[in-house]
Amino acid sequence: MTPAFSHPRPMQETVAPQSARIDRSTNPATLFNGVIVGAVMAFSLMPEWMAVAPLLFSGKLGPHMPVCLGMLLLGNIVAGMYIPLRRNTRYAFASCRAAQSVPILATLLAHIAAAVPDGPALVPTAVAAIAVSAIVVGIVFFLVGWLKLGGLIRFIPYAVLHGFLAGVGLFLVFFALSLATGSTVTISHLSLLWGEGALLKWGPAVAYGVALFFITNRWKHPLLLPGILVATVLLFLAAIQLAGIDSATAMTRGWILGPFDENARLWPPLDLADLARVEWSVLLQQWGLFGLIALIYVLDLLACSAGRVAAIQQEEDVNEALRVSGASNILSGCLGGYVGYEGVIGSKLSYKLGAPKPVPALTCAAITAVVMMLGESILSTVPKFMLGGLITFMALSIIVEPLFGSRRRTTLIEYLLVWGVALAVLFFGVAEGAACGVLVSLGIFVVSYSRLNVIRFSGTGAKIRSVVSRSQAAEQWLGRTGDCTQILRLQGYIFFGT
Read off the pLDDT of residues 372-401 as tens digits, 9 standing for 90 and up: 888 777 877 888 899 899 989 989 988 998
Q: Give the 3-state secondary structure percentages of the chain, helix then strand then coil, rounded to 5.
A: 70, 5, 25
Question: Tell me, what's the pLDDT at 154?
Answer: 65
User: Pick from 38, 168, 192: which is nearest to 98 by CA?
Assistant: 168
Cβ atoms of 16 and 88 within 8 Å: the answer is yes
Burial pattern 313-350, b for ≥16 Cβ within 10 A else e, equals eeebbbbbbbbbbbbbbbbbbebbbbbbbbbbbbbbbb
Tens of pLDDT along 421-432?
889 888 887 777
Confidence of residue 446 (pLDDT cuts 50, 70, 90): confident
Segment 59-66 mean pLDDT: 90
More confident residue, 469 or 105: 105
What interhelical angle do 28-56 and 359-374 show, nearest 10? 50
Q: Is 490 helix (H, G, I), strand (E, B) or coil?
A: strand
Range in 5-14, 93-102, 303-312 with the lowest mean pLDDT = 5-14
Residue type, 479: G
What number of other Cβ atoms are within 10 A of residue 263's Cβ? Answer: 10
User: Pick from 131, 213, 134: which is nearest to 169 by CA?
Assistant: 213
> CA–CA separation, 36 vs 30, rounded Å?
10
Question: Tell me, what's the pLDDT at 498?
Answer: 61
Percent of the chain with pLDDT over 70: 93
User: Pick from 48, 50, 26, 30: which is nearest to 38 by CA?
Assistant: 30
Segment 461-475 mean pLDDT: 76
> Does residue 459 have a pLDDT over 70?
yes
Question: Tell me, what's the pLDDT at 325?
Answer: 96
Question: Tell me, what's the pLDDT at 263?
Answer: 72
Question: Tell me, what's the pLDDT at 472?
Answer: 80
Segment 264-287 mean pLDDT: 88
> CA–CA separation, 165 vs 434, rounded Å?
10
DSSP output for 256-292: B-----TT--SS-S--GGGGGG--HHHHHTTHHHHHH
User: Among the residues of 87-223, which ranges form H helices?
Assistant: 102-115, 122-146, 158-181, 199-218
What number of other Cβ atoms are within 10 A of residue 102's Cβ? Answer: 21
Question: Tell me, what's the pLDDT at 11?
Answer: 42
Mean pLDDT, all residues of the chain: 84
Percent of the chain with pLDDT over 90: 32
Q: Is 184 helix (H, G, I), strand (E, B) or coil?
A: coil
Tens of pLDDT along 222-253?
788 889 998 999 999 999 999 988 888 888 88
Question: Tell me, what's the pLDDT at 52?
Answer: 92
More confident residue, 23 or 83: 83
> CA–CA separation, 263 vs 64, rounded Å?
8
Q: Which residues pair with 373 in a beta bridge?
A: none
Q: Cα 425 vs. chain centroid, distance in angstroms?
A: 16
Q: Is 79 helix (H, G, I), strand (E, B) or coil?
A: helix
Segment 390-418 mean pLDDT: 86
User: Pick from 396, 434, 339, 425: which is nearest to 176 by CA?
Assistant: 396
Confidence of residue 153 (pLDDT cuts 50, 70, 90): low
Question: Tell me, what's the pLDDT at 274?
Answer: 86
> Does residue 18 have a pLDDT over 60?
no
Q: Which residues contact 299 (CB under 8 A, 6 or more apart)?
A: 153, 156, 161, 164, 165
More confident residue, 306 or 235: 235
Cβ atoms of 61 and 385 within 8 Å: the answer is no
pTM above 0.75, yes or no: yes
Q: Are strands 486-490 and 340-342 parallel, antiparallel or unpaired?
A: unpaired
